Amino acid sequence: MYSYLIRVGTLAAIVYSLRILVLMERRMARIDDNILRITKRIVREEFKIETEEKKIESALGRRRR
């Protein structure tokens, strides 16, 4: 009787551990998605800054001549 309970308890622990692993994997996937989204936003902002910087440099270059 007790060996049956030990087996059931062990299986329950394994199932619970797998559930936790799946939840952690989903959480990590969301973190990766958020990092990718933030990185894309930073790249867009950097491009805007570089474009504005070129405009300013060209405007200053025209005035100096």
Residue range 26-43, pLDDT digits in tens: 999 999 999 999 999 999
pLDDT at 11 over 80: yes
Structure tokens at 34: 């958020």
What tokens does 22 get? 């799946």
What does the DSSP assignment read for 3-65? HHHHHHHHHHHHHHHHHHHHHHHHHHHHHHHHHHHHHHHHHHHHHHHHHHHHHHHHHHHHHH-
Provide the pLDDT confidence category of residue 61 given band limits of 50, 70 and 90. Answer: confident
* Gap between the Cα atoms of 35 and 41, Å rounded: 10
What pTM was estimated for this model as a whole?
0.65
Place of tokens 């570089």: 50
